[in-house]
Structure 1
């Protein structure tokens, strides 16, 4: 039957139907603690695709689950049947500024819509922390809210009209229906039926519904009947999690963005005292937000953002109170009132106020990343788990909720994190549990019953904004009672008689749904930790330690399991680099989460599947593409991923395992030997430069070596840097550095190397040039581990004598410095490689350090107005801010940072046949920005320079060229 179903789907839709095991693994989980293997996935292209899919599902009685960004925390976006991915239905259909509404398809990302509305001074104030990577359809299905809900309301307050596909494949326009005047349409008939069910029970509904400002639990039948003759059908589907129908289009109310805002940060000695304060100010002041962070989140934020940490290290809780309005005088008046209210606040230790928009935005990023900070908590096998993370009570009961949570956690001896929307009485709390143990599961169930009972007694809701899903649906009856719950069941039966629409969510008879289908399996084998190709579980490199805050790396199995599936790697905002491949392709397979899900699933099933079957899967073309094509080793996941999952290293491990059995794919094998080939090409440059311009040769090279015939290959120098260096006479100087040149300088642009030598000479350093091979980064990252180990051994042996004497090892290529500092330790972790890693500095860093000690020889003016693009590896190593400071020291230089994402080069990645087109697609946003600007563009890395020149058709400089100009070199 399944084959027939898939055939019918493929025959009836424009989009794709994915049935491969790897695709199904990718969609088996979302941002929750659950996983469920779907039958297949439909990538819908338009409304008709959704209609056709649902009709086929209805005919066969197969469950259907709609999915947006997969950022839900309760398991709403996973299921055992057909998953419909709506993210390619992402058009803005209408924007009416005069009447104040916008119409969009359900798959549009909220962050994309925000940026468009902001251009017109408008916004939808609902702002979950996942705004940049959640969809409008998902927000409606969840009745999302966010930090500003306390003043502006939840998603249900902005939904005007919806197009909804019902269980039989019919489509309705859910709107306000006037029972006195409406015709005999499907919508009118449904409205009358709902009225007949709900009208006699409105007293029960008013009495039994949670007394809170926002609620995502159950069905929002309290908002459906507007009066005796008007039914608002749209409100029924808000918060229904796709269990009554699938929202495909939405018309939403938009309002003006307030012109002014201010922010107060208030530090308390205790969370309970902070809750008391929130209760008091909410009774006396209409704040735009009142947000809370506890000590755990504060400490992690401080470790990452030292500016935020200043002044807050000794406090248990911080409140963020934002005030806004269209008059600065009104905002200042409210701030004065806030300060007056605060004068007698119990436990208040510190208050900071700001009207500066840049500072407010920076501080808000700290609050926005609270979930990210929470997910950095590591405690052995235990993790912060979302299942009781969204209780809400009336704000005057907030202190009681804080007290109850403390008591319950103490009772079970459980550590926890706490933050949330305090102004709404909504706290996000996560116990830190090991769900791979029986005791962890026992405590999970006990905590759920304890917390939800407390919330019910306070007339609160078990979910303010995250929904019910698999985590809370079994508790909906307990929250509402049998009479209201029976109304939910009746409505579900009317709209979904076959129970195919996201079954077991909202309405379920299962009593153990909370602890079923958990992704943290007890059966994961640790054998993979003993058979790794790279080094795992050792001391963190300085780079990883700075980013993650942890002294030790995780073992391979634990690193793969670290991804909690939030979906931030699907963000389309180019100010966040992760994940450039997803930005280029916008498919789940291209996301860090998608690839990581596959590898985690393979670990989970390793002990249940025959080795022959597993080897066949891991030797397939689909698996090769997954681990090679969809990762360019930018390493931005290490920075931008909330859990700091080192997806690049995970992919390098997967590639090494693949290559051990199947050999390196074409192209990657060539670049693993790049030092040998480049040296040969340089030696016979007259011939190699002629050949790379020959179409016939390039076609042959593509066929034989896998190097794309379209890719621009730089000309090779007629003389190696090694020769030029030894011919160059340096002045006698006291200090010295060792220079690691790498491939580009040695064989393509040796004069650049001499510029760097002269810059170092000017600043008092004699340059030594030890014997060396290329960095070996392609070999390390693409799976040629044995080759990589030989390169690392050679270069480490050559550089260690300098490191052991404290002599800096200077590089220019960002990728070369990343290799020496971090990647070498993944292949050879000994005292020599550690010493070398500790002494490596990019040339920009070395000059910055001289500047910070007032030892830098002064720059001469460089009268240019330029744009600067940062190589991803520059950002990962953290010296981008040093470079900015250095450039600011050059008189007359004016510059802006070009924040348009990654260029897509990925070192060797863009040269390889199957990758070239995608690499250019990844860099398209950047190329367009370069083309559109009249300013000269400079970048920090040689590979970025080549790629941007190719993609934009413009000459691009290197930042080290600016330094050379400033020294008249």
Structure 2
């Protein structure tokens, strides 16, 4: 019996009623479009909601930019959800002769995902997958991230073949359409070699599923002209031995320049040719709406060595002694590359001591077991022993150590982006040389870079494949600089093609960047065949025009992207797009990349005084799309190679928009925290009473109307709203430090002590009426600490204390710092200047305290404190339950995910931590004001929770409200689970 596992992580784009892109805006924007696009818009909005069709200045700019160094702004952007929609859109585009371009994640580097016409986006949808034959095959839709595909295969010990460095952020559609490879797959395991089947949507909307015999048969009957042309090209090519030999030779090294002509050499069947020529076609021949890969083994045992050679020549000679049968990767880095990373935390100290010519070779060996691994390591050392090294060759099997080596390799490109001069672009070119001539080719490449003034350029890459990346940072502000870049590219291309017969694009795709040079690499005869391929698949030239095939010899110098300065919080951004998937607003408004693009444009327009009407429109629309729906969770910094926190920019913008009235109100509130918390308790209590009297249905209707009519001023109610909170009861009197708890632990003077600060949120908000445990959080914490033998010291005057987080998030930085300073002084005194640890029960508050406090006192989140200090002082039993766990953004940033998991697994038999759920989007009070953000961020939560899971756990009260609402189960602090599963250790 064949094992099959399937799933759909479909995130349907919410139709947001608060989106300011309303119908009146639509009419205004529609009138500014050329008539052909007006007609296209009217035709597609017959079956696609207008909220998924963008024609306004803000979204067309924001969605239009990708990771490349080009800029084209689409006239229309459409979020497409499924095959039927895509097929219908392509039919309309063909009828109206409207060019279209497909976009997945937009992490491509060569300009293949840009257009000034219609951009069709799949991000957020197209997420169905099937794992087949015990993981030996996997069927994937194009909106799935590469890292997700490998996650689905993890339990089978397998992975997909392609392994680009951007695999955590790029999508399957782009991986296949660009024939992306990477560090370990070489040419043996790329998409071309591992594709099994494919579903394709052609220019006229025709759909072919190569795995379905009926679909193949119908396609052959409906497309006789295309089949005839494919067979003609195949036969003509195979009748030319010289051309056939050249094609076979060129694909022995990595090559993504032009179309996959090898498909016509390797296969006879037209369907097989179609399937394989689609790989690397960059959306110019059709849309790959599904692909089935043959998977490869993911070896459990790995070892890596960072080998330092005196110069590039020695390193290249070493590479020539290795092959993929022995090593899985051999990554070379020149001295300039290593310099970009040597000051990063955790890097080996010897990097700073290397000579100016030193070159590193990062070698990885993998095996199915430890014995084979050791044997391969020995063979590598034996082969390389005759070549002089700076340091002895030393392989490590310790994960943390070899991950540091790979951090050097993966961090090079972003590191260059981070240190470049402001306003410069980051260009990463991608060539391949025959391995036997790699050393001399590298020297020639270095000389050309120096000749054109790019002396700071770095060279590194996949040495085992002869595949070099070189990075330089031009500033495209003058004709002189553009001409310098043109001169460099012409000489490099001549070097690669004429002298070394290499590849102009090894793995980044042709795009616009290399389209003018395809004929230079392949020659006139092969290039004419490529043009015939394009014409056969796309007779009207409407699919991603200008990419791969382009008669404009200067297209690579046109539409170059400027990188204007905006603010120090975002200026280093390279538009790579790595931040997008983790953003809670990605499916409803904008992503961090989009926010940065828009802020750069706004800053440029303000500075130059250009297009004042457009500027006003961008500012107006950005207020909701960029500001109001930014959760400022900071997780974008975790996935950003440069650690850019776009939330910091949002907070800065909020600070600049503060009015004197708003500041006065904020200051008054900060001085009267006791009144604020009292008012919150009263309000929540009143709402709870109203709910019990009116019932859920009527309460929901009335609250929704009030929320809408007051334009978000009245918080949005939901059935999981918390009840009235309370303060801890502390009958023991005030002391110099604070208040001691009255628990049984306080009776023993020898017991441990901890200062416990219940946050203002946990003191104000109690459990919801539907929550599993109706005790306030401070009571649960007191129970746990008492069981573990801790005496609690409560800080005095608690109701006036706050960490400052609510003010920081709204841009009141000075008030936030005042509140933090006030709290720090009180906690210092309560802890006797840090003699006792300090515990806070709400992770965002604790994270703020850690960042703001200057004294260095010991601060602990409840999860961290429980893991490190309580578990070994409690007797735990695993409850026979399945529980869901959500790690808050602040906990992720404090590296507590593993501790969350360890605690939960110690307390329950089965723990679920959904991979596709990141920030919950509740974002303090935004879940009340902008509930659509929370709804969008948690769209994938409920499908990820298995049947039988009845409770969930986190460590932030506001986050728990949204998690409960969108999962249908009660989410409370993880401390509730620990308290339920624990008893005191027996006394000896």
Aligned ranges 1:329-408 → 2 under 5 Å: 329-354=371-396, 362=403, 366=407, 369-370=410-411, 373-374=414-415, 377-381=418-422, 385-388=426-429, 390-408=430-448
| 2:583 counterpart residue number | 579
Aligned ranges 1:468-617 → 2 under 5 Å: 468-521=510-563, 524=564, 556-571=566-581, 578-582=582-586, 585=587, 589-606=589-606, 607=608, 609-617=610-618
Question: Distance in 2 between the 1:228 and 1:893 partners?
Answer: 57
Q: Which runs of 5+ in 1 are unaligned?
A: 527-555, 572-577, 825-835
1:816 to 800, 821, 845: 845
Aligned ranges 1:74-85 → 2 under 5 Å: 74-85=110-121
Question: Distance in 1 between the 2:187 and 2:345 partners?
Answer: 29
Task: Report if the CA contact (8 A) 2:739-2:793 is conserved.
Answer: no
- Secondary structure of 1:569's match? coil
| 1:906 counterpart residue number | 922
| 2:7 counterpart residue number | none
Task: Report if the CA contact (8 A) 2:131-2:152 is conserved.
Answer: no
Task: Report if the CA contact (8 A) 2:802-2:819 is conserved.
Answer: no
1:780 to 808, 816, 819: 808
Residue 80 of structure 1: how far off its partner (Å) = 0.7
CA separation of 1:409 and 1:129: change in aligned 2, threshold 3 A? same
Q: Which runs of 5+ in 2 are unaligned?
A: 1-34, 741-745, 766-775
| 2:92 counterpart residue number | 56
Residue 38 of structure 1: how far off its partner (Å) = 0.3
Task: Report if the CA contact (8 A) 1:24-1:38 is conserved.
Answer: yes
Residue 222 of structure 1: how far off its partner (Å) = 3.4
2:232 to 193, 208, 220: 193
Calculate the aligned-residue CA RMSD, in Å.
Answer: 5.0
Deviations 1:431-484 (A, max 9, x none): 133344656434433332232222222111111110121222222233233343
Deviations 1:41-61 (A, max 9, x none): 222223332233223323333
Residue 617 of structure 1: how far off its partner (Å) = 3.8
Question: Distance in 1 between the 2:656 and 2:974 partners?
Answer: 37
1:290 to 302, 305, 330: 330
Aligned ranges 1:754-773 → 2 under 5 Å: 772-773=800-801
Tell me whether 1:276 sits opposite 2:284 in the alignment: no
| 2:274 counterpart residue number | 233
Question: Distance in 2 between the 1:284 and 1:69 partners?
Answer: 30
2:714 to 706, 710, 731: 706
Question: Distance in 1 between the 2:889 and 2:517 partners?
Answer: 46
Aligned ranges 1:518-917 → 2 under 5 Å: 518-521=560-563, 524=564, 556-571=566-581, 578-582=582-586, 585=587, 589-606=589-606, 607=608, 609-620=610-621, 623-629=623-629, 631-656=630-655, 676-682=675-681, 690-691=689-690, 693=692, 695=694, 699-700=702-703, 702=707, 704=710, 705-710=713-718, 712-717=720-725, 719=727, 726=734, 729-730=739-740, 742-748=759-765, 751=779, 772-782=800-810, 785=812, 789-790=814-815, 792-793=817-818, 796=821, 799=824, 807=833, 810=838, 812=840, 813-820=842-849, 822=851, 836-837=853-854, 839=856, 841-844=858-861, 860-865=873-878, 870-877=887-894, 898=913, 900=915, 901-902=917-918, 904=920, 906-909=922-925, 911-915=927-931
- Secondary structure of 2:119's match? strand
Deviations 1:372-424 (A, max 9, x none): 64355313316572242x11112222222332333233332531334321111
Task: Report if the CA contact (8 A) 1:736-1:766 is conserved.
Answer: no
Residue 219 of structure 1: how far off its partner (Å) = 1.7
Question: Distance in 2 between the 1:458 and 1:510 partners?
Answer: 26
Question: Distance in 2 between the 1:317 and 1:475 partners?
Answer: 31
Aligned ranges 1:233-252 → 2 under 5 Å: 233-252=274-293
Task: Report if the CA contact (8 A) 1:301-1:309 is conserved.
Answer: no
Question: Distance in 1 between the 2:47 and 2:661 partners?
Answer: 38
Deviations 1:175-233 (A, max 9, x none): 99999xx8783443122332365345552463377464220011222331337887823
CA separation of 1:59 and 1:608: change in aligned 2, threshold 3 A? farther
CA separation of 1:961 and 1:298: change in aligned 2, threshold 3 A? farther
| 1:145 counterpart residue number | 181
Task: Report if the CA contact (8 A) 2:105-2:169 is conserved.
Answer: yes
CA separation of 1:119 and 1:615: change in aligned 2, threshold 3 A? same
Residue 73 of structure 1: how far off its partner (Å) = 1.0
Tell me whether 1:450 sits opposite 2:486 in the alignment: no
684-693 vs 760-769, which deviates more?
A: 760-769
CA separation of 1:490 and 1:351: change in aligned 2, threshold 3 A? same
Question: Distance in 2 between the 1:773 and 1:290 partners?
Answer: 56
Question: Distance in 2 between the 1:410 and 1:11 partners?
Answer: 56
Residue 72 of structure 1: how far off its partner (Å) = 0.7
- Secondary structure of 2:761's match? helix
Tell me whether 1:22 sits opposite 2:58 in the alignment: yes
- Secondary structure of 2:512's match? helix
375-384 vs 147-156, which deviates more?
A: 375-384
| 2:21 counterpart residue number | none
Question: Distance in 2 between the 1:712 and 1:160 partners?
Answer: 48
Task: Report if the CA contact (8 A) 2:319-2:330 is conserved.
Answer: no
Task: Report if the CA contact (8 A) 2:310-2:389 is conserved.
Answer: yes
Question: Distance in 2 between the 1:858 and 1:393 partners?
Answer: 57
Tell me whether 1:43 sits opposite 2:82 in the alignment: no
- Secondary structure of 1:152's match? coil
CA separation of 1:108 and 1:274: change in aligned 2, threshold 3 A? farther
Task: Report if the CA contact (8 A) 1:107-1:136 is conserved.
Answer: yes
Residue 166 of structure 1: how far off its partner (Å) = 3.8
How many residue pairs were aligned? 894
2:101 to 55, 65, 79: 65
CA separation of 1:426 and 1:677: change in aligned 2, threshold 3 A? same
Residue 302 of structure 1: how far off its partner (Å) = 6.5
CA separation of 1:947 and 1:505: change in aligned 2, threshold 3 A? closer
| 1:542 counterpart residue number | none
Residue 859 of structure 1: how far off its partner (Å) = 5.7
Residue 82 of structure 1: how far off its partner (Å) = 0.8
Deviations 1:481-502 (A, max 9, x none): 3343333334334443433221
Question: Distance in 2 between the 1:10 and 1:126 partners?
Answer: 37
- Secondary structure of 2:277's match? helix
Question: Distance in 2 between the 1:193 and 1:116 partners?
Answer: 41
CA separation of 1:406 and 1:673: change in aligned 2, threshold 3 A? farther
TM-score, normalising length: structure 2: 0.77
Question: Distance in 2 between the 1:814 and 1:594 partners?
Answer: 28
Question: Distance in 2 between the 1:710 and 1:886 partners?
Answer: 32
CA separation of 1:351 and 1:723: change in aligned 2, threshold 3 A? farther
Question: Distance in 1 between the 2:686 and 2:673 partners?
Answer: 18
| 2:768 counterpart residue number | none
